[in-house]
Amino acid sequence: MLPFIIQSPLTDFIAMISLYFAEIWDFLMFIGRISGVVVVLVGAILWFTEVNMKRGKGLVASGIILSIVIQYFFMYPPSFVVL
């Protein structure tokens, strides 16, 4: 006979909320990666076409910083994300 673990409704609710947080976190990581690439590409276009070199360099730098931050949060997720 299988042992059944009886959980309280509050524990079930917390588990459900943490699952939703994990899904939201995965979506935010996806959006962060895409936006980092787009910001670097737009900055490179502005920089190398000499339309606005100062703005292009700033976008490239901020896109790289964004990608580093997103990678850090991907490697070390919050505790509600279960791998």
Extents of the domains making up the chain: 29-75
Residue ranges for the chain with pLDDT beneath 70: 1-7, 80-83
Long-range contacts of residues 12-16, Cβ cutoff 8 Å, at least 24 apart = none
Q: Who's near 11: CB < 8 A, 6+ residues apart?
A: none
Rounded distance, CA 77 to CA 12, Å?
22
pLDDT of residue 68: 96
Helix (H, G, I), strand (E, B), or coil: what is residue 5? coil
With contact defined as beta carbons under 8 Å apart, do 63 and 44 qualify?
no
pLDDT of residue 83: 44
pLDDT of residue 15: 80
